[in-house]
Amino acid sequence: MTENSSFGELVPVRDGSDPSDMSRLAEELVASAAHRGVQLTGEGGLLTALTRQVLQAALEVEMAQHLGYEKRDPVGRSLVGGANLRNGTSPKTVRTEVGEVTIDVPRDRMGTFEPQIVAKHQRRLAGFDEAVISLYAKGMTTGDIAAHLEEVYDTEISRDLVSKVTDQVLLDMRQWQARPLDPVYPVILIDAIVLKVRANAGSASGAATVGNRPVYVAMGINLDGERDILGMWVGPTGGEGAKQWLNMLTELKNRGILDACIVCCDGLKGLPDAITATWPQASVQTCVVHLVRNTLRYASKKYWSAITKQLRAIYTAPTVEAAEAAFENFAEQWEPTYPAMIEMWRRSWPEFTPFLAFPVEVRKIVYTTNAIESLNARFRAATRRRGHFPDEQSALKVLYLAARHREKNRPNPSGRINSWKSVLNVLSLTYGDRLGLQ
């Protein structure tokens, strides 16, 4: 038992080795607070006082270990000369999960004491920063977070503080952006989303403008069947471009990717050439979902149902020959009405057919960029409330946090493809030594 100095009563202290002890302690704390009509948290709260006691005791233990003797130990009074001694305390207020807590940080004469439980210059204990970063990753703005945490911590929190906390991830993000990658990936998926980012217009006045900027995203599936975001880049204003993609893919190659077996992408003009310029042996697979969407843009909405039914017969055909026969029937019916639609299919055919050579298990992985579009949907959710970003770094920070937050919380932490062993067997028969498997 120990005395609670704030309430003049005894609060039981247990070692926590038995979960039932912790449960009973929690019940006793709640009952004690209710009996005396006091709050659990906030100024004067029972948990606040208990937190202060724990922190204060921990600091005293750290100082005792640093000096080699306990507080009020006669050994300390006998030390003379150049010995390091205690030198009073300094008050310090820290923000915790239960509100602001004021502690007395012990000092030593030589100034060599470096506390760990509450480090020098630290004003927030573990939990605060994690809460801020988690909320930021979920799409809340700095203003939203400041208002929310002001309610939780019962103290004013500025937007600048929220920004500084989230900026802590920038070093991790830069390291992540430059990390080395595997020499070969069986499958790489690439796509882009558009965000509004402020940029200096380059005018004499230096006025800033907000423009639509493409964010290029690449996801790889490695030899263990695990999905991995390989990189994210903010491109210049003007929309997605094959030349910009060539720069991004070249960076991936410089970071270690020497070969990619299948690269799945949208139907952007010039992109297949950028892919084969980077990895000459790669099979380029146009995303079927993108192809279907682009098809419907050419046709009246009243024909969509009939068109999608016929398209399904094409992309689910058992062989390339069967797909060609289904396409000729499709073209014969619709070319007189929508010649540009049929021309788009003829132009895209070489990049549409590669997945038809594989069984269903492999087709599910490579015929669409759905996996990366799912990621992009999370990105849109995280950026929707922000309107626009002040710079590229802010945009990438939000996307990085959104991706990291999802990885920590998804049911399958590895993100491994279902039935991957079967898929890998098929890929090995197709690509042989390129996968580097023995």
149 shares a domain with 27: no
Given this model, what pLDDT does residue 178 score?
Answer: 93
Q: What is the count of structural domains for the chain?
A: 3
The predicted model gives 416-421 an average pLDDT of 84
Between 281 and 109, the more confident residue is 281
In angstroms, the CA 376 to CA 351 distance is 23
Q: Which domain holds residue 65?
A: 2-122
Instruction: Looking at the structure, tell me whether residues 174 and 286 fall in a common domain.
Output: no
Is the domain of 199 the same as that of 306?
Answer: yes
Determine the pLDDT at residue 274: 93
Mean pLDDT comparison of 57-66, 138-147, 165-174, 296-305, highest-scoring range: 296-305
* 275 touches 356 (CB < 8 A): no
Give one DSSP letter per residue of 223-291, joined into a string.
Answer: TTSBEEEEEEEEPPSS---HHHHHHHHHHHHHTT--EEEEEEE---TTHHHHHHHHSTTPEEEE-HHHH
Strands 9-11 and 184-200: unpaired
Could you tell me which residues come within 8 angstroms of residue 275 by beta carbon, excluding any fewer than 6 positions away?
245, 249, 260, 263, 265, 282, 284
Answer with the residue of higher pLDDT: 160 or 304.
304
Q: Distances from the Cα of 341 to the Cαs of 66, 262, 311, 334, 354, in angstroms?
A: 77, 26, 12, 8, 21
pLDDT on residue 14: 43
Of residues 76 and 296, the one with the higher pLDDT is 296
Q: For 351, which DSSP code?
A: H
Sign of CA dihedral 252, 258, 264, 265: positive
Same domain, 196 and 273: yes
The torsion angles phi and psi of 121, rounded to 5 degrees, stand at 70, 0
Domain stop point among 122, 156, 190? 122
Q: Which pLDDT tens digit goes with each residue over 40-56?
A: 555 666 556 766 776 77
Residues 173 and 188 both lie in one domain: no
Share of the chain above pLDDT 70, in %: 73
Residue type, 47: L
Name the residue with higher pLDDT: 123 or 218.
Answer: 218
- Beta-carbon count within 10 A of 271 CB: 23
Residue 186's Cα: distance from chain center in Å? Answer: 23
User: Do 146 and 63 have their domain in common?
Assistant: no
Cβ(295)–Cβ(304) under 8 Å? no
Both 61 and 141 in a single domain?
no
Q: Are residue 376 and residue 228 in the same domain, yes or no?
A: yes
Those residues whose C-beta lies under 8 Å from the C-beta of residue 115, and which sit 6 or more positions away, are 59, 62, 63, 105
Q: In which band, very low, low, confident or very high, does the pLDDT at 9 lie, cut at 50, 70 and 90? A: very low
| Sign of the CA dihedral running 251, 253, 257, 260 | positive
In percent, the amount of the chain with pLDDT more than 90 equals: 29
pTM of the model: 0.67
As a whole number of angstroms, the distance between CA 378 and CA 406 comes to: 9
Residue 38: predicted pLDDT: 54
Question: Same structural domain for residues 423 and 274?
Answer: yes
Residues 247 and 228 in one domain: yes
* Same domain? 91 vs 155: no
Residue 413 has pLDDT above 60, yes or no: no
Determine the Cα–Cα distance for residues 288 and 367; give it in Å rounded to an integer. 6
The domain boundary, picked from 163, 179, 195, lies at: 179
User: 78, 102, 122: which is the final residue of a domain?
Assistant: 122
Residues 207 and 91 in one domain: no
pLDDT value at residue 277: 94
> So what's the pLDDT on residue 162?
72
Write the pLDDT tens digit of every residue in 166-216. Answer: 777 788 889 999 999 999 999 999 988 888 888 764 444 556 688 888 899
- Across the range 352-371, mean pLDDT stands at 84
Q: Sign of dihedral through CA atoms 254, 235, 266, 173?
A: positive
